[in-house]
Amino acid sequence: MKTAYLLLGSNLGDRAATLQAAVTELGRSAGRVTAASGLYETAAWGLTEQPAFLNQALEVQTHLTPTQLLAACQAAEQHAGRQRLVRWGARTLDVDILLYDDLVLDTPTLQLPHPRLPERRFALLPLAEIAASVLHPGLRRTINELLAECPDELAVTLHETQPEG
């Protein structure tokens, strides 16, 4: 079994319900979900003129290879109606692999750890909730250390888990 950390994000439709459905789907297709952060709300990063995101980090115990896990993540996105029209654009569901054990991988289709993890507060904060002392395999810094040093100033706040309308 390998331990992978995923980041889920949604900024279209009922974001909280989409994330919950994705957790269920990934538990079925990717492996056993062994930890889940709370839901965090943040302004969009990159392409900023769009609705705010909800993000959630997951710890998954998986037998899948990194490439198979990527395919499971992309299948969950498709199941949620994801359309890839504009880079960093609005989406029903985005699933990123942040870490996969201590693997460092750089291929045309997958980079591990996620190359922008150290510069994204919206990824580090939920990840720190469930994996604060985990070491980033490339930088040899804990997730808490990366969060403390993160240059991203976007506000990331714990989301009240109420139905969205």
pLDDT tens for 67-79 read 999 999 999 999 8
Q: Give the CATH number, domain containing residue 87.
A: 3.30.70.560
Annotated catalytic, 94? yes
Count up the domains in the chain and report the number.
1
Q: Which of 14, 15, 28, 82 is catalytic?
A: 82
Q: Which of 15, 94, 120, 152 is catalytic?
A: 94
* Range with the poorest average pLDDT among 18-27, 30-39, 84-93: 84-93
Q: Which of 28, 84, 96, 102 is catalytic?
A: 96
Q: Quick check: 162 pLDDT over 90?
A: no
Does residue 44 belong to any structural domain of this protein?
yes
Does residue 164 belong to any structural domain of this protein?
no
Does residue 165 belong to any structural domain of this protein?
no
Does residue 58 belong to any structural domain of this protein?
yes
- Dihedral class, residue 53 (left if φ above 0, else alpha if ψ from -120 to 50, else beta): beta
Omega before 113 within 30 of 0, i.e. cis: yes
Annotated catalytic, 91? yes
Annotated catalytic, 82? yes
Q: Which of 15, 91, 120, 121 is catalytic?
A: 91
* Structural domain containing residue 70: 2-158
pLDDT tens for 101-147 read 999 999 999 999 999 999 999 999 999 999 999 999 999 999 999 99
Does residue 81 belong to any structural domain of this protein?
yes
